[in-house]
Amino acid sequence: MFDVAELGRKIAKEDFKTQEPIMREALLDAQFRLREANFSVVVVIAGVEAAGRGETTNVLLEWMDARRVETHAIDAPTEEQREKPRFYRFWKRLPPTGKVGIFLGSWYTRPITRHAMGQMEESAFEKKLTQIKAFERMLAHENVVLVKLWLHISKKTQRKRIEKMAQDPERAWRLSDKDLAYSERYDDFRRVADRALRRTSTDVAPWKVIEGTDRRYRHMQAAQIILDAIEDRLGNPPAKEPPSSGLPEPQAINIIRALNLGQRLEPEQYREQLNAEQARLGWLSRRLVEQKRSAVLVFEGSDAAGKGGAIRRITRALDARYYQVMSVAAPTDEERARPYLWRFWRHLPRHGHVAIFDRSWYGRVLVERLEGFCSQLDWQRAYSEINDFEEQLTEAGVIVVKFWLTISADEQLRRFKDREQTGFKRHKITEEDWRNRDKFGAYEAAACDMIAQTSTEIARWHLIEAEQKHFARVKVLRTLCDRLEAQLGEAKVPQAGDKSAFEKKKGRKKDKKDKKKA
Amino acid sequence: MFDVAELGRKIAKEDFKTQEPIMREALLDAQFRLREANFSVVVVIAGVEAAGRGETTNVLLEWMDARRVETHAIDAPTEEQREKPRFYRFWKRLPPTGKVGIFLGSWYTRPITRHAMGQMEESAFEKKLTQIKAFERMLAHENVVLVKLWLHISKKTQRKRIEKMAQDPERAWRLSDKDLAYSERYDDFRRVADRALRRTSTDVAPWKVIEGTDRRYRHMQAAQIILDAIEDRLGNPPAKEPPSSGLPEPQAINIIRALNLGQRLEPEQYREQLNAEQARLGWLSRRLVEQKRSAVLVFEGSDAAGKGGAIRRITRALDARYYQVMSVAAPTDEERARPYLWRFWRHLPRHGHVAIFDRSWYGRVLVERLEGFCSQLDWQRAYSEINDFEEQLTEAGVIVVKFWLTISADEQLRRFKDREQTGFKRHKITEEDWRNRDKFGAYEAAACDMIAQTSTEIARWHLIEAEQKHFARVKVLRTLCDRLEAQLGEAKVPQAGDKSAFEKKKGRKKDKKDKKKA
């Protein structure tokens, strides 16, 4: 891919002088019109060492209205970022609609560098590229225009530049040992980059290789490509997909209807088992802290299925400092200005923490699908986007546990009426809830599709028979504990009479003191 | 303050059983009405070791709708937080209107602990308390209802609890050596806390001391106080202040008019001086990285005074990875739901970075004052709030440099007309700009007030004669460099022929190799 970028293309100083003001005006104009547009622009500036990425970025920022551009130099992840999935740093920095985000250092940097330096196997590298492709396709669907620039220079040019830089007191400070190591492996980088570019140059996110030798040519090309991308999208907005319509047919036999809703627990059984499971959960939640893991719990189910009650039985066993319950309400305007999953990424838990979602990203394939809040394309692609998301969570060591709570239509009706009559609960029932009841069957069918598509090996759906609340709560707790235990090791709930860790510590201290005395 | 909290108050089990459902309903109901309200609730749960803060927080969360509560256990600051002013961690976590934020560990934790442990001088402690008072007063003005709970137990009770905890295998893991050290200094903590509470118990943020011995009494008291605070505010919303009205009188003689606007630079002088200052700035910006400092630049001035042009001359000398230009546009809804300064706190720079504000928090005392976008009270209190803010910045090592760019009314008119005629600049002029021209004198008078109130020793205003752009740009750059130099040490711009750091490094490496060989 790089031979075409070693042709010695140049722009003469005079020509550049003529072109520069025209380009600046065109860029400012495009940025101005972008302000009100419904998309954002993500520019990735990549390339080999010393190809002039920083220099060109500086020029672009000078030409554009810097106030409408967010520049991100992605260095090593911070402490907090290391506790989150790999893409967290990039998600966090996605620009809102109407703005341009320039990424100097991107999701390509680490995979390419590590593979080229022999620190990452080919299979792992290929997997990263596949994830990147999925990520970029999702961005493209979510109103992000992707511009990926690869600045290229030949081996000879690179060597010359680095030597010159090393001798220039103004710039030598920028050279690190790492840079030199990279440049010594020019051929490896070239080979790996070639493959990365081939694999990830897609219709929605094509790579543009720019010959980097001539400074003026490089700046002008980069600006032109960005300008074209913005203009193109402004001039050819994607056809608006019609909202999703047509409710899914309720099915007589499905995985939800196959559940035995007759299961119950007697009051005494309930108390006993609830206590036992809560003790287990309390113990496991401490392991989560010790082992620097985190958990994401998802609760879905029809209205009045008992999600809130089940969640409260969980939180009772947890320490308030280590959990957060999120309920999915209308997105804020900052959230609406970014891809759909952004608002969930921002609430991912830190190590030791449990994030509990009372309704979740599955809203897209449930209520949004049924109510036509998104297009058919949107909810259809959501399945694989969600699977990718959850895969990234589990890869980062997050334990994902998903619950679907099922009740019958009759039981729902009973609970609605009960809510209306109990002052305590009257806020929980609205006009909308009554309207939604008409779609009970369609909702169930959508849930079956969801389970079929997203109950994966890494994050399966646990179906909970919720007709009787006691039974449901204990089953949720027990399932959760089982899942945590599988990841964190067996729960050893301390028994009265056990020597506590604290006493053991005291014991050790005493031993030490005694030794000292002796 | 604590004697009244050692009276042995209790709630009997039976009574608690009766009261609990009533309290829960009342809390849920209050939270429901809070959703649509224009204020947020910040609950600080503080107290001595083993007084039951965690336990009571858990109960509160169980009683309330946890989805409308954000709980923050403020532990040691993260890497990123350590690079920001002390209050950053708390600002970042302020709940939006309609929600409750519970702070377990707050702005009181460190000052009280450190002073009690003898790690902080009395004078420093007093200063922190003064800052806290200002912070809380500001919050109260900005629609935050503050509830500060101090859970108290006697020395004897504390000793008993800790001993019991140490023997309980279920809970002993929570005890750290630090906890034990704290409890051994009960009297010191009590004395220091007493003073902190006395000093910071104000009309807008009173402390409530709760007797913590009886669990049921403690829970119920905490819930009742929170409930009362919400109900009180819902029932008695503060009188709406009328918008600011009446433009300040233009003054014939003022600090801005005293400037000599006739100062100019000839083209040659300009080029030469610009280059020299930019080289200096480039060098200084690297010192910023090396010394782990950061800078915040503020640009204010009338329309068309040349803020953008001056900023571009600065950014040209900087590395795109280390600066960000922010322009103050309409706040997002997440920003509107929080105190005024929140949207600036979130853009504070990390170490090595420069944050450039094209218009800033001074909008409140300029455009918002003149246009009546806020009340008279709002802009009047803004002066001291801003001074506090900037003091915190400088205390955290941030270099704050503020510029006011001045042009005459005639020059502004000339530039407006020029903008209308130049395609390049036509986006920069709007109807509103023409309307604002009528208020030129009033704007200037407001700026004089601003300068008088906020040109402080730690962050003075630099007045720039901007009638000629060349002169203004060089003066801005030179002033900036001088200010940076005063903080970072003299700029030693490398000269051609200097041995570069890189060559020196290479030299050292060679020496090492030679040694090895030998």
Question: If we measure between CA atoms, which residue out of A445, A512, A42 comes closest to residue A233?
Answer: A42
Whole-prediction pTM: 0.88
* Amino acid at residue number A154: S
- Which chain A positions have a beta carbon within 8 Å of B285's beta carbon? none
Q: Across all residues in chain B, what is the average pLDDT?
A: 90
Minimal C-alpha gap between A416 and chain B (Å)? 18
pLDDT at A513: 56
Query: How is chain A split among helix, strand and coil, in percent rounded to 5?
Result: 55, 15, 30
In three-state secondary structure terms, B216 is helix
pLDDT value at A275 more than 80: yes
- Interatomic CA distance for residues B210 and B219, integer angstroms: 9
The string of pLDDT tens digits covering residues B113-161 is 999 999 999 999 999 999 999 999 999 999 999 999 999 999 999 999 9
* Amino acid at residue number A29: D
Nearest by CB to residue A170, choosing from B494, B499, B503, is B494
The string of pLDDT tens digits covering residues B61-71 is 999 999 999 99
Question: If we measure between CA atoms, which residue out of B209, B149, B243 comes closest to residue B2?
Answer: B209
- Interatomic CA distance for residues B182 and A419, integer angstroms: 48
The string of pLDDT tens digits covering residues B354-383 is 999 999 999 999 999 999 999 999 999 999
Chains A, B: CB pairs < 8 Å: 159
Q: Is A401 left (phi over 0), alpha (psi -120 to 50) or beta?
A: beta
Nearest by CB to residue B73, choosing from A68, A70, A321, is A321
- Which chain B positions have a beta carbon within 8 Å of A498's beta carbon? 169
- A495 confidence band (pLDDT: 50, 70, 90): low
Quickly count helices (H) and strands (E) in chain B. 21, 10
Which of A239-253, A283-297, B329-343, B346-360 comes out lowest in average pLDDT? A239-253
Q: Residues 6 or more apart from B337 whose CB is under 8 A from it?
A: B40, B96, B97, B98
pLDDT at B485: 95
- Rg of the Cα atoms in chain A: 28
The string of pLDDT tens digits covering residues B279-301 is 999 999 999 999 999 999 999 99
Answer yes or no: are the C-beta atoms of B66 and B260 closer than 8 Å: no
- Interatomic CA distance for residues B395 and B459, integer angstroms: 11
Which of A211-215, A269-273, A346-350, A512-516 comes out lowest in average pLDDT? A512-516
Which residue blocks in B35-85 are alpha helix, DSSP H? 53-63, 79-82
- Interatomic CA distance for residues A128 and A119, integer angstroms: 14
- Rg of the Cα atoms in chain B: 28
State the CATH architecture for A3-235: 3-Layer(aba) Sandwich (3.40)
**Lookup: tokens for A208:** 């543009």
Minimal C-alpha gap between A321 and chain B (Å)? 5
Which of A89-103, B321-335, B336-350 comes out lowest in average pLDDT? B321-335
B452 vs A183, which has greater pLDDT?
A: B452
Backbone angles phi, psi at B42, to 5 degrees: -110, 120
What is the bridge-based pairing of β-strands B40-47 and B69-73?
unpaired
* Amino acid at residue number B35: R
Which of A82-86, A391-395, B263-267, B471-475 comes out lowest in average pLDDT? A82-86
For chain A, percent of residues with pLDDT exceeding 90 = 75
Q: Spell out the domain ranges in chain B.
A: 3-235, 267-488
Could you tell me the fold of the domain covering B267-488? Rossmann fold (3.40.50)
- Which chain B positions have a beta carbon within 8 Å of A169's beta carbon? 494-496, 498-501
Answer yes or no: are the C-beta atoms of A92 and A345 closer than 8 Å: yes
Say if the Cβ atoms of B67 and A166 lie within 8 Å: no
Q: Would you say the CATH fold of A267-488 matches that of A3-235? A: yes
pLDDT value at B165 more than 90: no
pLDDT at A344: 97
B514 vs A7, which has greater pLDDT?
A: A7
Q: Which residues pair with A299 in a beta bridge?
A: A358, A403
**Lookup: tokens for A317:** 């066993």
pLDDT at B512: 55
At which residue do the structure tokens 């976590």 appear? B93
Which residue blocks in B100-154 are alpha helix, DSSP H? 109-116, 122-141
Q: Across all residues in chain A, what is the average pLDDT?
A: 90
- Which chain B positions have a beta carbon within 8 Å of A62's beta carbon? 312, 315-316
pLDDT value at A502 more than 60: no
For chain B, percent of residues with pLDDT exceeding 70 = 93
Which of A217-231, B238-252, B419-433 comes out lowest in average pLDDT? B419-433
- ipTM over 0.90? The verdict is no
pLDDT value at A377 more than 80: yes
pLDDT value at B424 more than 80: no
Give Cα B214 to chain centroid, integer Å. Answer: 38
pLDDT value at A507 more than 90: no
Nearest by CB to residue A325, choosing from B66, B79, B321, is B66
- Interatomic CA distance for residues A47 and A104, integer angstroms: 10
SS in 3 state form for B383-450? HHHHHHHHHHHHHCCEEEEEEEEECCHHHHHHHHHHHHHCHHHHHHCCHHHHHHHCCHHHHHHHHHHH
pLDDT value at B31 more than 70: yes
Nearest by CB to residue A62, choosing from B68, B312, B427, is B312
What is the bridge-based pairing of β-strands A69-73 and A207-211?
unpaired
Burial class (CB in 10 A: 0-12, 13-18, 19+), B260: exposed
